[in-house]
Amino acid sequence: MDSAPIWVLAEPAEGTFTTTSLELLSHARGLSSEVAAITWGAGGALAAPAGEYGATTLYDVGDLGGALPGVPVAAAIAGLIERGGAPRAILIPSSYDGRDVAGRLSARLDRPVLTNATGLSDDGGLVTEHPVFGGSLLVRARFSAEGPGIVVVRAKSFSAEASGGAPASVVAAPPGELGTTNAAAIVAHHVEERTGPQLEEAAVVVSGGRGLGEAPAYSLIEELAGLLHGAAGASRAIVDAGWVPYSRQVGQTGKTVKPTVYIACGISGATQHMVGMKGSKNIVAVNKDPDAPIFQIADLGIVGDVHTVLPALIERLRAR
Amino acid sequence: MDIVVCVKQIPDPAAPQSFDGSNNLDRSGKLILDEADTYGVEMALQLVESTGGGEVSVVSMGSANDVSGVRSALAMGAARATVVSDESLRGSDALTTAKVLAAAIRRHPFDLVLAATESSDGYTGTMPVQLAELLSLPSVTFAKAVAIEGTTLRVQRQTELGYDEVTAPLPALVTLTAGVVEPRYASFKGIMAAKSKPIEVLSVADLGIGGPVGAAGAREAVVAIDAAEARQAGEKYVDEGDGAERIVAFLESIKVL
């Protein structure tokens, strides 16, 4: 195994790291004997989970004082590289803040980024995998110039497995002086009411598309998801139409989900959507159009109107 | 308030996609304005109206042989366009694209730069933040609402749990999620007016960009392109009142119920 270090951006979340961060730490262990995590906010308190998932060092950027993480965290990573040398690669979760850090860091270091990676292996050099054209093709890519390469990895690409390592040693990594680029500040958090699991973590995902006809019909999707203890998702078409927020979008420009079962309702199956859900263990599709591409990947396809099938399904589930 | 909107002309997403001989997305067919960019154009027009005037311009990198996509943005109401077009830019990665757009944007004063969270063809999703860093601007990404109060930007930024209220001083860069405003349809008058609106076409030399660009400047290489494992279609039934029952039985068979 290579001893050149691999750094992982580990986003803090409620006393530990986000699931995608843990997935990246777990996978990095297999690529390097020296894995470091970079985090902020809670910092030192996360030495235990960082070590448990394989990091020997935890770089702590510290309290961001309300700033969005992109600028200060990228500056801190650039500072570490200037002072102590570059890692072999920097792995970053494909999240809102992760993508900010990746973009800032890339421009700051003048180093390339490979995004939407779903695989990373060592083949005499790091090779990334990227599904394209609706997941029908798999592109393998590598960095062709001086590192460190920055790789932005989608959720659920690897499994999170604890290694039982000792707590990581914590090293302060302050961002330094930043000026006006760091002037974007969070003034309030708004938590929208949500019951049930997060989209990327749910064992059951029920998604709605244009076939629902109109925005209020999305309540059928939410009700069905609730009855199955799952999460509600959406196709790009209804996000673009403003029916539901971007955080619900499943697909190439949205989230990747791999639930036990994915129930696609009124979704035709554009390549843009398929790439985000074809890794599901089981797929059920309900669509009026018998030729909808979604049926080509569905384990169970119901050619029918979502406005009759879904209420009937909801009634049956309620009666159980 | 002068607002620059980054736009991209892309192959029609409804048409089948393929790679060209250099493993780049085949862009030889008809190009259209990325729908993801129409939200930025609309938002810019609304913000300029609400803040009492100014100019909306669009900037794009790509072939200048077909600028009908850029004209669509002008038909919506943008005043002028800059297109950086150069054979040497073919195969550029996101960081090179950001360098090119930064150089083009620096040529005129501006208060705000808007972009989509990602393009609908390459969907790399890092270019706008790279651009902000190169222009030394604060950035607020994944915006679902944008307001200007004097010289302060107020944004609702999408989060996993809801949204954050974020403020930043102008000038700044904002990326917009889809669906946050309803893009206007170009009127007949708008389409006619767009024909005479200025489209400035610039080369790499015009922008004075040093260092290699295009495929020569990209520091990523494709190792292989293979067919992914295909999924098999399962059973398909026409609903005859038994659709819900079949779904319940299936969910029981996989022990979800």
Given a cut of 70, whether residue A298 has pLDDT beyond it is yes
Cα-based torsion angle of the residue sequence B39, B44, B46, B51 in order, rounded to the nearest 10 degrees: 160
Could A103 and B132 be called an inter-chain contact, meaning their C-beta atoms sit closer than 8 Å?
Answer: yes
Q: Which two tokens stand for residue B155?
A: 């944004």
Within 8 A by CB and 6+ apart from B216, the residues are B88, B91
Specify the amino acid at residue A86: A
Indicate the residue type of B208. Answer: G
**Helix extents (H) in chain A:** 19-29, 47-52, 70-84, 96-109, 218-227, 236-240, 271-277, 306-318
- The verdict on a CB contact (< 8 Å) between B165 and A286 is no
Q: Evaluate whether A38 touches A77 at the Cβ level (below 8 Å).
A: yes
B141 at A interface, C-beta within 8 A: yes
Q: What is the pLDDT of residue A1?
A: 65
The verdict on B166 touching A (C-beta cutoff 8 Å) is yes
Chain A residues with CB under 8 Å of B234 CB are 298-301
Closest CA to A205 of A273, A290, A137: A273
Distance from CA of A259 to the nearest CA of B (A): 11
**Does B164 sit within 8 Å of A186, measured CB to CB?**
yes
- Mean pLDDT for B121-138 is 96
A100: chain B residues, CB-CB within 8 Å: 129, 139, 141
Residue type, B224: A
Q: Please name the member of A133, A143, A284 whose beta carbon is closest to the beta carbon of B247.
A: A284
**Mean confidence (pLDDT) of chain B:** 95
What are B245-251's contacts with CB under 8 Å, separation 24+?
Answer: B245/A316, B246/A300, B246/A302, B247/A263, B247/A284, B247/A286, B247/A300, B247/A302, B247/A309, B247/A313, B248/A313, B248/A316, B248/A317, B250/A282, B250/A284, B250/A299, B250/A300, B251/A228, B251/A261, B251/A284
| Interface touch A240/B141, C-beta < 8 Å | no
Residue A43 has pLDDT above 80, yes or no: no
Q: Identify from B251, B253, B255 which residue to disrupt to test chain A contact, counting A C-beta atoms within 10 A and taking the largest count.
A: B251
8 A C-beta contact, residue A180 and residue A68: no
CB-nearest to A312 from B13, B124, B244 is B244
Nearest CB to A312; choose among B161, B167, B243: B243
Best CA proximity match to A287, nearest among B239, B240, B234: B239
- Cα separation of A148 and A76, whole Å? 15
Which of A189-193, B135-139, B178-182, B230-234: highest mean pLDDT? B135-139
Cα–Cα distance measured from residue A273 to residue A217, given in angstroms and rounded to the nearest whole number: 20
Using alpha carbons, list the distances in angstroms from residue B41 to A152, A228, B4, B25: 28, 40, 9, 25
How many CB pairs (< 8 A) connect A and B?
Answer: 284
Per-residue confidence at A46, pLDDT binned at 50, 70, 90? very high
Answer yes or no: do A102 and B238 touch at CB < 8 A. no
Residue B163, helix vs strand vs coil: strand
Judge: A115–B162 Cβ closer than 8 Å, yes or no.
Answer: no
pLDDT beyond 80 at B75: yes
| Separation between Cα atoms, residue B150 and residue B170, nearest integer Å | 9
Which among A145, A192, A261 has CB closest to B161?
A: A192
**Closest C-alpha to A95, from A231, A206, A254:** A254
A76-96 pLDDT tens trace: 999 999 998 899 999 999 999
- Alpha-carbon gap: B64 to the closest alpha carbon of chain A (Å): 26
Distance CA(A209)–CA(A194), nearest Å, equals 20
pLDDT at A3: 74
State ipTM: 0.95
Pick from A21, A24, A29: which is nearest to A3 by CA? Answer: A29
Q: Which of A144, A183, A270 sits opposite B169 (nearest CB)?
A: A183
Burial class (CB in 10 A: 0-12, 13-18, 19+), B22: exposed
User: Is 90 exceeded by the pLDDT of residue A135?
Assistant: no
Of A180, A190, A283, the CB nearest to B169: A180
Q: Are strands A16-17 and B220-227 parallel, antiparallel or unpaired?
A: unpaired
- pLDDT single digits (tens) A229-285: 999 999 999 999 999 999 999 998 899 999 999 999 999 999 889 999 999 999 999
How far does A230 lie from chain B, in Å, by closest CA?
10
What residues in B contact A137, CB-CB < 8 Å? 225-228
Quote the radius of gyration of chain A (alpha carbons, Å): 21
Cβ-based neighbour number of residue A15 at 10 Å: 10
Subunit contact A127:B257, Cβ cutoff 8 A = no
